[in-house]
Amino acid sequence: MKRLCIIPCGAKKLWDRHPDTEGPVEAERAYLGTFHQLCQSYAKTFFGDDWVILSAKHGFLRPSDLVPENYDVRFSTQRPLRNIDLNGFQRQVWEKGIDAYEDITILGGRKYAEIVPAIMGETRIYHTPLQGCKGIGYMLQKIRGALESGQELITRPTEG
């Protein structure tokens, strides 16, 4: 069964730290926040090349996809599906070959746990190992612990 890890983008980007940066950059270099960086390390460690970044502005980004410039677009915390072009995101799933994955791990909070199954459909198995964490600090601690121990975070899978 093909496994994929979906990680969130992040508010802090390369252009924020280095305003003189011109032109597009690869997605894996664009996001600089601590949470994103730890999620990226986790994805690389436990999923190899089978991970993508989910951005409210750009949808699914493979690590080598280009982010053209700085932006500030977020999924709404109250109703995350309200702000997205669901058809466009679903088209990306097919165009980028993400539809080949049956087992999906979602690193992120509640809004990502709602958005991803709505986009990808209910016929997949979803893991949300950060659900139940009371805040970002707990999420960071959980991811750091997994990386330090070399043990993937395990959760009971749910179907979309």
At residue 84, the pLDDT reads 62
Q: If DSSP codes are grouped into helix, strand and coil, which group holds residue 61?
A: strand
Average pLDDT value for residue range 123-143: 93
Pair of tokens at residue 90: 């679903």
Sheet of 158-159, strands arranged across: 59-61, 51-55, 3-8, 103-106, 125-127, 158-159
Cα–Cα distances in Å, from 148 out to 51, 90, 143?
20, 35, 9
Residue 104 token pair: 């999906």
**Of 31, 18, 115, 113, nearest to 40 (Cα)?**
31
97: left (phi over 0), alpha (psi -120 to 50) or beta: left
Q: What is the pLDDT of residues 27-55, one digit of tens each?
A: 999 999 999 999 999 999 999 999 999 99
pLDDT at 76: 66
Predicted confidence band at 81 (pLDDT cuts at 50, 70, 90)?
low
Q: Locate the domains of the chain by residue range.
A: 3-154
Q: Which two tokens stand for residue 20?
A: 């003189």
Q: What is the 3-state secondary structure (H, E, C) of 15-41?
A: HHHCCCCCCCEEHHHHECCHHHHHHHH
pLDDT, tens digit (0-9, with 9 covering 90-100), for 94-117 = 999 999 999 999 998 888 888 899
The domain over range 3-154 is classified in CATH as 3.40.50 = yes
